[in-house]
Amino acid sequence: MSLNADRSYKMKLRDVENAFKYRRIPYPKRSVELIALLAISCTFFLFMHTNKLNSRLKEMEVKLQPSEFSALGLTGNHISGHDAGKHDDINTLHGTYQYLKSTGQLDTLTAAQLNNTPKAEREFVLFNRLEKVGSQSMTKLLGHLGALHGFATYRNEIPPTKKIVYNFKEELAFAEELLELEEPSAYVEHTNWINFTAHDMPRPIYINLVRHPIQKVISAYYYHRHPMIYANSLLRNPNKPTERKEFFERSFNDCVRQRIAPECVFDSHLPYNQDWRRFTLHLCGNQNVCTHFNSEMATQIAKLHVEKEYAVVGSWEDTNITLAVLEAYIPRFFTDATNQYYSHQEKFMINATPHDSHLDEDVEAYLKQQFAYEIELYHFCKQRLYKQYIAIRKQVQVQDSSSTENRSV
């Protein structure tokens, strides 16, 4: 076992504390959690080694991804390998480009049209992160860039339990807490979108990340069954009941098919769907309509916020594109992000829990139906990201052409 695999949980926690400014919280000691951790230590050993191999493979995949097309000098890693041939799909970079070109929008497209950063009234990035979209990696990157560019990075303490939505007064209290933080700075927390203007508070620079909704749910399912993650949750929450062996051994396919656990039931009639980690709620906000799962109205509100409020909603599925857009649209915080990411990639490829992402045909069909609006919102965010990237590449090409003409004169 490597040194990294041998390091204890306390040592890892110390690394995090050195990188970020936390409000400290006590961690109660419980013998049952330690016994549970020891009982699954062998499984954890395999996870750690698989995790390391997965990280290495992912690093190779990112670096070896071919550019999708050469028009305008556009490059970027594709959504996934099995989509590589779908060049006319609107949900790919190439497809978005072709759509803009065919509809005449490409000629008038500018980066300024898609830049919400100037609307911000503070030098303050708010990353109201979703779960299982690579938010830990982005948090680490923010901390790394903060040390280089002179801004502070904060993240909230992790409470044992958290309300799914805030009322108006709770929103105001949260906004006031953020207003007390210095500028420039970045703040990270799992929380819903907040209308700061409604509270007479200055608007922050909103950012977020997305991932295919079904893959995100699968990842979350196995993440909470990872030995170390599960043991950590027991330490944070003394009242949490200890799960039986079946909890760890049951596959996601079986869980969804048999509707055994609450996190495997995706019913639009359930207000919170037993899962507050979905896209719509985070991007829609704390209104009652936002709590409805797979809701067309909640989805449209979320789209409006993405388009009008968020500076960048990126995705690690398109690493190069996301980093380039962050650099271009939020330079105060993300200058040199691409170079720093690839130069110190071992710092950012963290918190991955390898798992079987295979879906049985019936389960996949059920999830696509139940997540129809979530998937629609996901594609909307990706298309906007591609438009932002195309706009900056177009701008660079124009600048390069002007420079060439000036030199020739």
Using DSSP's 3-state secondary structure scheme, residue 207 falls into: strand
CA distances from 49 to 1, 2, 52, 59, 131 (A): 8, 9, 5, 16, 23
b/e code 329-355 from CB counts within 10 Å (16+ = b) = bbeebbbebbebbeeebebbbbbbbbb
CB-based contact 117:126 (threshold 8 Å): no
Concatenating the DSSP letter of every residue in 367-394 gives: HHHHTHHHHHHHHHHHHHHHHHHHHHHH
- Provide the CA 352 distance to its chain's centre, in angstroms: 13
Active site residue 190: yes
Of 87, 190, 224, 379, the catalytic one is 190
Alpha carbon distance 259, 53 (integer Å): 32
**CB crowding 133-151: b at 16 or more within 10 Å, else e:** bbbbbbbbbbbbbbeeeeb
Ranges assigned E (strand) in 250-354: 310-314
Q: Within 10 A of 42 (CB to CB), how many other CB atoms are there?
A: 10
Phi, psi (rounded to 5 degrees) for 290: -70, -20
DSSP conformation letters of 122-154: SSEEEE-PPTTSSHHHHHHHHHHHHHHHT-EEE
Which of the residues are catalytic? Answer: 190
